[in-house]
Amino acid sequence: MGSTAENSAKLRAKLATLDADELEQLVRKHNALYWDEHAPEIDDPTFDKLVEALRKARPTSQVLEQLGEQKAAASPFGDVVHERPMLSLDKCYDDDALLKWATAIKGGFFMTPKIDGVACSVRYDAKGALAQAATRGDGKVGDDITANVRGIADVPKKLTGVRAALEVRGEVYLRRSRFDAVYKGDKANPRNLAAGALKTKDPKESAAYGLSFFAYDLLDGDAPGGGPKTEADKMVRLGKLGFPVLPFRHFDDKAALAEGFRAMVEECKQLDTETDGVVVKADSVAEQDRLGITAHHPRGAIAYKFQGESAQSTVRDIEWGVARSGALTPVAIIEPIFISGVTVTRVSLHNAGYAKKLGIGPGATVEVVRRGGVIPHVERVLTKPDRSLSQPKKWPVVGGFTGVHLDGDFLFLDEPERSREVVVGRVKHFADVIDAKGFGDKVLTQLFDAGMVRWPADLYRLDVNALAALERMGEKSAQNLVAVIEGKRKLTLPVLLEALGLERVGATAADKLASTFHTLPAVRTASVEQLADIDGIGPEIADAVVRGLKESRALVDALLEEVTIVAPELPSDTSHPLFGKSVVFTGALAHMDRKSAQQRVQAVGGKTPSGVSAELDYLVIGDEGSPLLGGGERSSKHKSADKLVAKGAKLAIITETDFLKMLG
């Protein structure tokens, strides 16, 4: 596996070529790496851009509702149920989006820097003693980190002037100065180091990191006068209680927000901590209560991520990398420039065609923009290069070199199966999809170099003795790897189809193919026309599937010698009212997030297709703002269902409450 910067550059280079299914898979993967494993492979700005790309490609994706830490079932820490959900914030990237959000707010606004730390809840008992501390977790349940939080000097162990229990929420972080002095070069960044320190089992070891804390919220209904009435009041009270608080600003009019944001950005630069934007809230607590919350964020607050800036630089060189698709992607190596709080040295050029159209090359002066404060992008070439862009005519592979060829704007390897980068990428994709833990980039690269893995089927042929003989492997590690892959010899058809890594076939498309054709032979013999008729597939994906399965014929045959395709386990209670029924959700659910609702349906034997059709049994309208309950306008799915019902379709349009009654 490459460095975070290298991985980020590779992902940014291919971001524009990914479909919604691929984006969902990547968001799930990198969300888990960041929040649950504290081992991110890409930087925060690249992840933000990845999420924005998914939001544009599939605005209703359930993956967008699952961002943040997903509570692990086997956590070594105790569980803490939050009395009030700890939700993440919605995001915006420009003035227009901020002002659009602000139109719903009545009254003034409150603004503070957005700390790039770890959200934490600290509870105190009625006598003011620190009683419990917890991570945000999945927003509903977090990990008990009380012992480690006691070691943070900024968190008071005893409050004075307290008459009842209260809760303080804030960000645990590592000061930038301490990170630079002690950990820079050994650790990825301050935020990830802070997250790891909080999850350390030894409180003394955790305290040795020297973590800090900023308070940003106070849940204190028993304060004089019934608790703070505004966000500014909260900051004043938190300061009196002994907590460090962030600099803040108050604005009476939304017209001042854009200029206030820019002023706050300058203040962020003076803080001894990493910041990645500004938080804007309705100042009135009552107004926040009136606006309420969605399944994943409060409506009365938003995170304005740093605006894009531009700067000029000179291109030192153009480097080429290769993706698992076999496509070669150019990256401009530039003289370091500082944009939106980040030093930029590498800028993706996306593909060979785009780089050629730019007229870029070593020695050129370029204008670089961080669009939305996230992805560095070459906006234009200002002066001609010393020499023009040189495209590779061959590429190093096992046993020598392979040729390259153009296909549209993309440059591809003639023999990608001989490339270490391509093979490792493809096998890792397979291992990730089938959930074979332990087969990361380093291990797979070692297996490739040893001649033990050339495609996914080779994973099932690994030998413990041969593995144990590898450098830095050992018998125990070898046994674990073989045991993991032995446990993956039974795969469902959707998992196998996704794991093959066919172009444009992610989890959703794989599910549609499996549920339509039921068997692998049927999928392999289906025509483009048959596939294109499937709702949500269409001619482009259909063509990619037929072409991909043809190209992967030898791999599929080899895998079938090693694995058995099994049917997903079905519920035994066939009498449940939703067994065998198809259910689609639309609108904001008031009682659970959409992914949980879909899982509940699947658990009782129901199906959850992505769209409305004449074969649908139930369209569930979320109770929050539901037009069925006197709320807002009908969604596009609701309108489509109404038309189908008018034409005599069997489907029923029901409320979320009706759905919950059916679930029992």
Q: Catalytic positions, please? A: 114
Q: Pull the structure tokens for residue 599.
A: 């899982």
Q: Cα–Cα distance between 511 and 506 in angstroms, integer?
A: 9
User: How far, in Å, CA of 2 to CA of 440, rounded?
Assistant: 11
Q: Specify burial of residue 115 (Cβ count, 10 A radius: 0-12, 13-18, 19+).
A: buried
Continuous segment of H or E residues that includes residue 344: strand 342-348
How many other CB atoms are found less than 10 A from the CB of residue 386? 11
Reading the block at residue 562, the tokens are 């090693």
User: Which value, to the nearest 10 degrees, does the dihedral of the CA atoms of residues 592, 598, 602, 608 take?
Assistant: 160
Which tokens belong to 496?
């196998």
HSE-CB at 502 with a 13 A cutoff on CA atoms is 30
Within 10 A of 16 (CB to CB), how many other CB atoms are there?
A: 11
Output the DSSP codes for 72-100.
Answer: PTT-SSPEEE-SS--PPPEEE-SHHHHHH
- Tell me which residue has tokens 């096998």: 427
Per this entry, what is the length of the chain? Answer: 664
The amino acid present at 230, given as its one-letter code, is T
Sheet holding 212-219, edge to edge: 130-135, 118-124, 166-173, 212-219
- Closest by CA position to 323, among listed 429, 437, 444, 451: 429
Alpha-carbon gap, residue 223 to 165, rounded angstroms: 10
- The label of the residue with tokens 């901020």 reads 98
Sole residue written with tokens 């480097």: 319
Token pair belonging to 198: 């909080």
Backbone angles phi and psi of 331, in degrees to 5: -130, 130
Question: Comparing C-alpha atoms, which of 217, 214, 242, 212 is closest to residue 227?
Answer: 217
Residue 191 is inside which H or E element, if any?
helix 190-198
CA 520 to chain centre: 31
What pairing do the DSSP bridges indicate for beta strands 109-115 and 249-251? antiparallel
Tokens matching residue 643: 């038309």
Q: Which residues pair with 620 in a beta bridge?
A: 585, 654
Q: Shortest CA distance to 113 belongs to which of 233, 275, 230?
A: 275
Number of Cβ within a 10 Å radius of residue 468: 16
Query: Which residues, including other chains, have CB under 8 Å from residue 630's CB and lie 6 or more apart?
Result: none
Q: Do the Cβ atoms of 273 and 117 come closer than 8 Å?
A: yes
**Which pair of tokens denotes residue 133?**
């501390």
Backbone angles phi, psi at 404, to 5 degrees: -130, 160
Which residues face 369 on adjacent strands? 310, 377
Nearest 5°: the CA angle 540, 544, 549 is: 155
Q: Taking a C-beta distance cutoff of 8 angstroms, is the pair 318, 361 a contact? A: yes
